[in-house]
Amino acid sequence: MQTTTIAKTTLQHLFSIPVIVAALGYFVDIYDLLLFGIVRIPSLQSFGLSEREVSDIGAIILNWQMTGLLLGGILWGVLGDKKGRLSVLFGSILTYSIANIACGFVQSPEMYKMLRFVAGIGLAGELGAGITLVSEILPKQLRAIGTSLVAGVGLLGAVAAYFTVEFFDWRTAYFIGGGMGITLLLLRIGVFESGVFENIKSQKQVQKGNFFSLFTNQDRLIRYLKCIGMGLPTWFVIGILATFGNEFGKALPISESIKPGLSIMWCYIGLSMGDLASGFLSHGLRSRKKAVLYLMLFTLVFAAAYLFGGVQRASVFYGLTLLLGFGIGYWAMFVTIGAEQFGTNLRATAATTIPNMVRGTVVLMTTLFGWLKNEFNVIESGALVGALCFVIGFYCTLTMAETHDKDLDFLED
């Protein structure tokens, strides 16, 4: 009888309104975040651009979107600690929903670039604020599973984006994404604020949301940089291997043309499964670090197979992309670790900026990838970028403090 009560209480925690709404919010966030990557080629072709222009201008627009994520991460992170987690969830989704609807009317690459920048700013707030809220609301023994459920369900937004584009044109896909965001705002009305944040909200003497304080204390700065470094392999897989899958497909002896949108979709199906698995893996191992390390090693093995395995069929290529996605399924654990590393007065700032700093490094990755292609072939260029990301990722994870079962009711000095 007692076991039944405990199980029921656990399910009530994991399927509470904040967890469900955070998961649905991340679903819409991922749909809108990845939509440009999926419609990149058809949307830019509709402007009459050549194949080379589609590649070059597409990379530029992607970089503007990722730069928006970088800046938006700082904006929403600071607001999350100063005004509350819910204010970020409302403000960010309104921003990216309006920007995505506007993308459906775009008529030039220049306007497209600016709107993806604004969308990037809006998209930056969703994940960090949601993970922070769920981490603070759930009991510490359920945090890993709860945040992995949020990410696992949310990442299926990529699948929804792909099939939306399959059935509708790219402009309609943007309208649908924006419409889902506006609808989600109505669901958020019943969500309550984190009690941990409410406890310090009225404490005027506590400095909240000071982004620059992450850089003025050596210990905090090292923690912050290690959290960012740990996430680099995730966006190497998404931003290079999946997004430029068509270029890698041409470099490999594959007769069929590789669709980047399909490559991204399979990557995110794997990522969703990996995120769900990572929470249970961390819970079972009683360690965040071990879960991340095992999945990062898994990713490294299949990245090598992707680049140097002599893949000859598109089905095998997409299969490897699925496995790579599963490997980087430590994304939820990585964001959770970012939230657990810092006190309540800096938690939203850290948890929101860390994943967006990682996303922002895609600008550096694509720039380096493009520069290396002048000296090396596509496979070698991708391998060199990947080697750098994995070396940093392994080092940061191995030297980071364990946060499993850590009490989150503490403040940064």
Q: Considering the domain boundaries, does residue 378 fall inside one?
A: yes
**pLDDT reported for residue 3:** 42
In a domain, 232, yes or no: yes
Report yes or no on 203 lying in a domain.
no
Task: Give the confidence band of 4 by pLDDT, cuts at 50, 70, 90.
Answer: very low
What average pLDDT score do residues 349-359 get?
85
Q: What is the CATH number of the domain that holds 337?
A: 1.20.1250.20
69 is a domain residue = yes
Note whether residue 406 is domain-resident.
Answer: no
Q: Is residue 208 over pLDDT 70?
A: no
pLDDT higher than 50, residue 365: yes
Domain-embedded: residue 143: yes
Q: Which has more confidence, 20 or 11?
A: 20
Q: Where is mean pLDDT largest: 177-181, 211-215, 320-324?
A: 320-324
3 state SS for the chain: CHHHHHHHHHHHHHCCHHHHHHHHHHHHHHHHHHHHHHHHHHHHHCCCCCHHHHHHHHHHHHHHHHHHHHHHHHHHHHHHHHCCHHHHHHHHHHHHHHHHHHHCCCCCHHHHHHHHHHHHHHHCCHHHHHHHHHHHHCCHHHHHHHHHHHHHHHCCHHHHHHHHHHHCCHHHHHHHHHHHHHHHHHHHHHCCCCHHHHHHHCCCCCCCCCCCHHHHCHHHHHHHHHHHHHHHHHHHHHHHHHCCHHHHHHHCCCCCCCCHHHHHHHHHHHHHHHHHHHHHHHHHHCCHHHHHHHHHHHHHHHHHHHHHCCCCCHHHHHHHHHHHHHHHHHHHHHHHHHHHCCCHHHHHHHHHHHHHHHHHHHHHHHHHHHHHCCCCCHHHHHHHHHHHHHHHHHHHHHCCCCCCCCCCCCCCC
Q: Flag whether 413 is in a domain.
A: no
Does residue 338 lie in a domain region? yes
pTM: 0.79
Checking if the pLDDT of 1 tops 50, the result is: no
Domain tally, the chain: 1
Domain of 122 in residue numbering reads as 15-189+212-398
